[in-house]
């Protein structure tokens, strides 16, 4: 809209020529004044900025992709709030290296609910004749076979023990009886000779003179087998001789339910006279200490092995083999100071703590009896089950021991 008395032509004539306007931009003075003005404005704004003005340049939202943020983080982001800083002192440490593993040795309870793992250890020497019966019995165990590991040590054998063992292991693992518990979790065979040359004949093997060297050699064999086979996942170790001929199928459950550090059953044997089973007592290595035995040990050289169950050492110890009644309460327990090695249930942590089988004289005892002495010295409990019987093969050598007392006494 034009003012009164003015026209477009009049206004156009009053404007400066375009050439004159463009010439202003070509003058150095114009650009100098423009830059000076801009500098003054920027400097002025800088001096008058507040903290609120600077907040608009902050990074808003969490330091992650918008696809990964939570709904609350998204709302805070859109609200232009300051990026939160979280100090999480409980953030888990994640390890992805395959060469690093965690081993939890804390105890568990209520096997097999918690799937306690059992390691059955059996030392072997010239034992080929006993292997079929041994595998027949362990195949019948009612404890879940997938929780049981077997390990054998073959040493100083002159018969077919090693080859017979491999045949039996192959059969029980690859051709198990479907009516039984199936194959075991694993089987290990260890070979280690100790230079033992003495015969396995009963009269030599159980002679008094051979007891010291024999027990020390057996202790060494047990320790080699133990340290080779024991794994972090094992909760219990069952030491089981190869010449057992009869035991309850539930023997593992029956023993671990007592939750004792070391526990042994009573060891007897069948011997028939005139058609009657005398139910002979076999293992005189499970005993309760006596004052007479302690006095005797005090007089012996510290390297002397006090062989229990022989008339040469009348210790007056109370032998569990002569106690008990298999018709009475099988859960009845008694404390022991020495144990035999036919069937021993041990908490794996007892062995991990360093309690093993002395292959030397420890308090004048060796192997299993020395093991019990060492365990009690370390504060562990050793118990026996006088009414719970495991049957050993009859070796017919007991009548000559303990002053001629009959095996069925």
What pLDDT digit, counting tens, does each position of 349-381 carry?
A: 999 999 999 999 999 999 999 999 999 999 999
pLDDT value of residue 367? 95
Does residue 152 contact residue 190 with C-beta atoms inside 8 Å? yes
pLDDT digits (tens, 9 = 90+) for 18-47: 666 677 777 787 778 888 888 888 887 776
> pLDDT per residue over 124-175, tens digit each?
999 999 999 999 999 999 999 999 999 999 999 999 999 999 999 999 999 9
Listed residue (262, 254, 257) closest to 330, CA to CA? 254
Place of tokens 């992805």: 96
State the average pLDDT over residues 229-249: 96
> Within 10 Å of residue 124's Cβ, how many Cβ atoms?
26
Q: In the predicted model, what is the mean pLDDT of the chain?
A: 85
- Residue written as token pair 């045949």: 167
DSSP designation for 56: T
Helix (H, G, I), strand (E, B) or coil at 224: helix
- H/E element, 148: strand 148-154
pLDDT (0 to 100) of residue 45: 72
Would strands 262-269 and 287-288 be described as parallel, antiparallel, or unpaired? unpaired
142, 171 contact by CB (below 8 A): no
Structure tokens at 296: 């005797």
DSSP 183-209: S-SEEEEEE------S---HHHHT-TT
> How many residues appear in the chain?
409
Mean pLDDT of 329-340: 97
pLDDT above 90 as % of the chain: 54
Q: Is the pTM of this model over 0.85?
A: no
Report d(CA 361, CA 274) in Å as an integer.
43
């Amino acid at each position: 809209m034009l003012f009164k008395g003015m026209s477009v032509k009049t206004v156009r004539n009053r404007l400066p020529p375009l050439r004159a306007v463009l010439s202003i931009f070509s003058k150095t003075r114009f650009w100098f004044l423009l830059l000076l003005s801009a500098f003054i404005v920027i400097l002025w704004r800088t001096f008058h900025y507040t903290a609120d003005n600077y907040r608009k340049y902050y990074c808003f939202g969490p330091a992650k992709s918008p696809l990964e943020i939570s709904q609350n983080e998204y709302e805070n982001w859109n609200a232009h709030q300051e990026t939160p800083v979280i100090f999480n002192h409980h953030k888990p440490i994640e390890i992805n290296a395959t060469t690093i593993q965690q081993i939890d040795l804390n105890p568990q309870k209520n096997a097999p609910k918690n799937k306690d793992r059992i390691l059955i250890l059996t030392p072997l020497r010239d034992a080929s004749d006993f292997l079929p019966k041994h595998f027949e019995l362990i195949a019948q165990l009612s404890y879940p076979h997938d929780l049981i590991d077997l390990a054998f040590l073959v040493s100083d054998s002159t018969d077919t023990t090693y080859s017979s063992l491999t045949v039996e292991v192959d059969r029980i693992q690859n051709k198990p009886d479907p009516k039984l518990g199936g194959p075991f979790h694993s089987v290990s065979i260890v070979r280690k000779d100790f230079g033992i040359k003495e015969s396995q004949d009963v009269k030599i093997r159980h002679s008094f003179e051979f007891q010291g060297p024999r027990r020390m050699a057996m202790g060494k064999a047990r320790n080699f087998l133990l340290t080779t086979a024991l794994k972090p996942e094992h909760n219990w170790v069952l030491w089981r001789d190869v010449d057992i001929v009869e035991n309850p199928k539930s023997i593992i459950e029956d023993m671990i339910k007592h939750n004792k550090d070391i526990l042994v059953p009573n060891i007897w044997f069948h011997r028939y006279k005139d058609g009657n089973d005398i139910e002979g007592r076999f293992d005189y290595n499970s005993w309760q200490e006596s004052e007479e035995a302690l006095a005797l040990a005090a007089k012996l050289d510290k390297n002397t092995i006090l062989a229990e169950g022989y008339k040469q050492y009348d210790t007056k110890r109370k032998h569990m083999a002569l106690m008990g009644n298999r018709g009475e309460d099988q859960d009845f327990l008694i404390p022991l100071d020495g144990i035999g090695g036919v069937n021993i249930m041990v908490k794996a942590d007892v062995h991990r703590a360093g309690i093993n089988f002395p292959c030397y004289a420890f308090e004048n005892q060796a192997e299993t009896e020395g093991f019990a002495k060492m365990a009690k010295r370390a504060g562990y409990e050793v118990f026996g089950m006088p009414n719970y019987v495991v049957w050993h093969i009859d070796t017919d050598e007991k009548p000559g021991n303990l002053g001629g007392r009959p095996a069925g006494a």
